[in-house]
Amino acid sequence: SIEEELCGLRFRVSPNAFLQTNTEMAERLYGAVREYAALTGAETVWDLYCGIGSIGLTLAANALTVWGIEVSEESVARAIENAELNEITNAAFFAGNVGLAIEELGDRSGPPDLVVVDPPRAGLAGKALRRLGRIGAPRIVYVSCNPTTLASDLKTLREQFGYELRRAQPVDMFPHTPHVECVTLLEKTGSTRES
């Protein structure tokens, strides 16, 4: 493994686990996530597609609890190790398919006040997207590396589940390439229409 420092925390990364390679811009990305999260210390935060825990652990100091789900068992092992490495005791990480594990997570943690999602380029899979919408968290911070799938997922969250896009911040992770991350804030409004 290698060790990297981000946002004042240490992260161990193994060959098959994911971490943003441009660490300077990753700190800006995580800073935008923290700003949009606007945590007060009383919130239950879900970190879906948590990887090695980098986003969730940077939020933990300002949250009541952080609960992460990731399909890669190796990444979850690193997330747990990274929580211990940084002496963070209010974060828990579990291996599982996000679309299937959301309901179990709700049973363990109770309803979330904030959900952070950082899915792969394909965006949120249909089941994960629908279950996320049905949970009805007051706020979602959606981090995306693919503007096309982000637009599609945001449209579904707006039209079917009553979320409105409040803010968006692109982060140029790799200058002189088309690869741009985007951090968005969605807030729940009014009644929803489930399909």
Catalytic residues: 145
Phi-psi region of 70 (alpha: psi -120 to 50; beta: other; left: phi over 0): beta
Give exposure, 94-122, as e/b (b: 16+ Cβ within 10 Å). bbeebbebbeebeeeeeebbbbbbbbeee
How is residue 141 written in tokens? 């911070």
CA max distance for the chain: 47
CA 91 to chain centre: 13
* 139-175 residues labelled b (16+ CB within 10 A) or e (exposed): bbbbbbbbeebbeebbebbeebbbbebeebbebebee
